[in-house]
Amino acid sequence: MLGFALSSVLAQLHPDTPARYRPLPPLREQARLQNEWRDMRLARVPALLQKYGVDAWLISQREYAEDTVWRAIRDATADSPHRRTVHLFHTNTSSLGGAPNPLTWIDNTGAIWPALTSILEQYNPRTIALNVDKDLNYASGLHVGELRALQEHLGVEWKQKIVDVPRMMVVEFLGPRMEGQKEWFGVLMENAWAIIEEAFSARVVKPGVTTTIDVEWFMRDRIQSLNLTTWAHPRVSIVTPSKEPGWEGSSSLIHEGDVLHVDYGVSAPLMALHTDTQHLAYVLRASEGERTPPVGLVEGLRVSNRMQELQLEVMRPGMTGNEVLRKINERMMEEGIEGQVFSHPLGDWGHGPGAVTGFNNLPTHVPVIGDLMILPDTFYSIELFAYHTLLGTNTTLRFMQEEDVWWVPEKGCWEWVHGRQERLHIIDAAPEEKRFDSMLRVQS
């Protein structure tokens, strides 16, 4: 028997009503909002540079070979840097006379280099940070060709002042969500739920006819119909005892009695918003008169729900991902839960910059990104699975769940963005009249 009792829930749970399809603003308004959020982010740069002892931050890229950071500072209607685009962030001291931050040059003739060095001579920074970190992807976006060009054209004096950009400076620049993003993230999250609820229903799934790939492409079509896209294609699979935790789908034919799993991410790219969700469904054995899922499946979902609670009880801003992971593993051991956590931030990317709590192949410690700090104004995806052996059988399944949260400073806790799955999605292929007869029998 598991050594835990169900605790009080930290926030909103499984919603009582079905999710609704909710429109996002027109694209023009989405672009306006994204540019507004970008400007808020850029306004924080001088203070970040000062915090991390950096005088200048230089970003250089060319068309279709952009720096990772460029996506966070671009105009919402720009798909790629134009020609060679160079940005110089600075601490806005009087030596530049209130110059824009960043200073930007766009050129394809080579005239950019004397203009840049002229500004450097005027500003005279002690350090110039480049995005060349060998371990953190968000801090390593400078392409090798651009690095060589900088080394060739900057001159010895400025090359000697080049340093690797501080990791946490990049994370603090890219990770936090701006005021106003939260409202629209909630709308996007409800759409993600609505798509799952429709896909995992008898309207879409016909046992013995529908395959998991059919469900995947139904979801893609529905996403597109909402003027949204994906950063992670829906991967639908049948949960089996031998299935390793992963993200591949399958081409399996769906039958009654199957447990279905989906993992996918919905994106509103103009607003730089991305969800990440994993849910489970059960296909009733309707031909045998089954009206509810087996008790063992309900219990298994309950165990993974408890793991979610443990993470939210443990995880606090300022902790590193590895500190959180260690405490979760300790709590799971105390309560007799077997499973694994591999949670991550959400931001301008589905796998956003910031502290990771575990990896599928790194269950106890994650180098580099596991040692980053959790930020309070970052959306976070609680991703995990629990092992559970079904009652009266030797069958052990992985109950894989993923749900998104945000930090609520007034309450000092994380809350689910749209709730969390506490009930299996039920696919009932019984004819409508049989469902009604069954309901009458249950009521009587």
Q: Give the model's pLDDT for residue 91.
A: 87
* Cα separation, 129 vs 236, whole angstroms: 43
pLDDT digits (tens, 9 = 90+) for 190-212: 999 999 999 999 999 999 999 99
Pick the CATH number of 181-443 from 3.40.50.1970, 1.20.1740.10, 2.40.420.20, 3.90.230.10: 3.90.230.10
pLDDT digits (tens, 9 = 90+) for 362-387: 999 999 999 999 999 999 999 999 99
Q: Give the model's pLDDT for residue 431.
A: 67
Mean pLDDT of the chain: 89
Q: Give the model's pLDDT for residue 250.
A: 65
| Pair 120, 158: CB distance under 8 Å | yes
Amino acid identity of 40?
M
pLDDT digits (tens, 9 = 90+) for 288-337: 999 999 999 999 999 999 999 999 999 999 999 999 999 999 999 999 99
* Cα separation, 121 vs 125, whole angstroms: 8
Parse the chain into domains and list their residue ranges.
53-165, 181-443
- Dihedral (Cα; 373, 185, 403, 311), 10-degree rounding: 30
DSSP count for the chain of H helices, then E strands: 12, 15
* Cα separation, 280 vs 296, whole angstroms: 14
Cis ω before 176 (30° cut-off from 0): no
> Which residues of the chain are under the pLDDT cut of 50?
1-12, 246-247, 435-444
Its pTM stands at: 0.90
For β-strands 229-238 and 128-130, DSSP reports them as unpaired
**CATH number of this structure's domain 53-165:** 3.40.350
* Cα separation, 379 vs 188, whole angstroms: 13
| Pair 69, 170: CB distance under 8 Å | yes
| Pair 346, 152: CB distance under 8 Å | no
